[in-house]
Structures are given as structure tokens and as C-alpha cells.
């Protein structure tokens, strides 16, 4: 994304950048909704429970740049912060995660920049999710601009755990007591077991229905 960054135009530049990221969010969200509708029509099944889309606040962007040791400029924001536009895709079963990721990958106008598979390799605290950093073209009146969107795909159970873990860490400003950290990790293992049991149960139900 090429944005002029003269100091006198900072406000206009900021509004233009956020307009482009917001347009990218809408585009990816709409693509996911269309794919979900098509899957429902063809397979009588919705792999996506719901979609959450958000733009990172200016305060959060500045904090992230400070953690990176970078000056708070629009250039640094665009180049260094990958989750300004973020979409969380919530699905029912773990088997849906890669199914959704494959559907996204097959979209010709979506470029996959990177993938982080926290299902295969969970974080040390037990966090599981599937992250995709993608780039999509945004069509403006006089030009086409590419914008990055971070997509997180996880089950309902994973999202429940991650949301509560985030709230707890926010209250402790990232320094939760050790026993709470250990309990959160234990809860993550329970969530993982629940996902496995629910997937197994769903597969058993589908097999029984096929026999009829």
C-alpha cells in the first residue's frame, strides 16, 4: 500500500488508510459469507457459525509500534502492523478449520502472505487457532490498492477460551500469577478434549444417518 506521508497531510492520509483497510474487511467478510451460503446449498451444512470483523484502534496500533521499537508513522503502521484489519471466523468443529482455510486459499484475488498453524503447534499457554495473513485488492475510483487482512479461524470452544484468557491477562496487564497461568493452560487442554469429543460425536451421528 503506497500512501503519501507528508506531515501536513497526516489526517487525510490516516483516513485514507483506514478507509482502505475497512474496504478490505468488507470484501473478505462478504467472500466468507458467500462461501458459507454456497456450502449450505450444496452440502446442507454451514461450516461457519459466525464472523467477527474489526479495525484496530489508533491507540492499539501506536502501542504495537512502540513494542516493536518503531516510530509512530503511517509507513511503519502499514509495513509493520499486520492485524490492523482482522477477521475472526468461528466454526463448530476442528474439521471445519482447514476446510474454511482451503476455501479462502482457492480465491484467485486473495494472496496468502503467511500462515501460522497453532492447531498443529499450540502456543505454550495452550492457545489454538489457525491464522492466515492475506492481501486483497481494494478498488478505488482512480486506482487499485492492496491491503492486508489477518484471518483467525477457530472453533466456538477455542474462541471461548481465547476471549476469557485475553480478559484475564488484560486485568493483570500481562502479568497474571503463575497459578492462574497454569489453570488457564489446563482449561485449554480441556477445551481441546471437548473439541475432539464433539467432532467424534458429530462423525458418529453422520455415519448413523448415512446408514438410514
Residue 146 lies in a domain: yes
Q: How far is residue 75's CA from residue 87's CA, in Å, rounded to a whole number?
A: 22
Q: How far is residue 143's CA from residue 109's CA, in Å, rounded to a whole number?
A: 16
pLDDT at 7 over 50: no
Mean pLDDT of 68-97: 94
Q: How many domains does the chain have?
A: 1
Residues 6+ positions from 166 with CB-CB distance below 8 Å: none
Mean pLDDT of 154-171: 91
pLDDT of the residue at 98: 95
Name the pLDDT band for 169 (thresholds 50, 70, 90). Answer: confident
How many other CB atoms are found less than 10 A from the CB of residue 143?
Answer: 8
Mean pLDDT of 27-47: 91
Task: State the CATH number of the domain containing residue 44.
Answer: 3.30.460.10
pLDDT in tens, 137-152: 999 888 899 999 999 9
Residue 207 lies in a domain: no
Q: How far is residue 145's CA from residue 21's CA, in Å, rounded to a whole number?
A: 10
Amino acid at each position: 500500500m503506497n500512501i503519501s506521508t507528508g506531515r501536513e497531510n497526516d489526517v487525510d492520509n490516516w483516513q485514507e488508510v483506514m478507509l482502505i483497510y475497512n474496504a478490505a474487511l468488507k470484501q473478505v467478510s462478504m467472500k466468507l459469507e458467500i462461501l458459507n451460503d454456497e456450502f449450505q446449498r450444496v452440502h446442507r451444512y454451514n461450516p461457519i457459525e459466525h464472523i467477527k470483523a474489526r479495525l484496530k484502534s489508533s491507540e492499539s496500533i501506536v502501542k504495537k509500534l512502540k513494542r516493536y521499537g518503531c516510530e509512530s508513522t503511517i509507513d511503519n503502521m502499514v509495513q509493520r502492523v499486520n492485524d490492523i484489519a482482522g477477521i475472526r471466523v468461528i466454526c463448530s468443529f476442528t474439521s471445519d478449520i482447514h476446510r474454511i482455510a482451503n476455501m479462502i486459499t482457492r480465491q484467485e484475488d486473495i494472496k496468502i502472505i503467511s500462515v501460522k498453524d497453532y492447531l498443529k503447534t499450540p502456543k505454550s499457554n495452550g492457545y489454538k487457532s489457525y491464522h492466515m495473513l492475506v492481501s486483497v485488492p481494494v478498488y478505488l475510483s482512480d486506482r487499485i490498492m492492496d491491503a492486508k487482512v489477518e484471518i483467525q479461524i477457530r472453533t466456538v470452544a477455542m474462541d471461548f477460551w481465547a476471549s476469557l484468557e485475553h480478559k484475564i491477562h488484560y486485568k493483570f496487564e500481562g502479568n497474571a500469577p503463575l497459578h492462574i497461568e497454569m489453570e488457564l493452560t489446563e482449561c485449554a487442554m480441556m477445551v481441546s478434549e471437548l473439541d475432539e469429543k464433539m467432532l467424534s460425536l458429530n462423525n458418529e451421528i453422520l455415519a448413523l444417518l448415512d446408514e438410514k
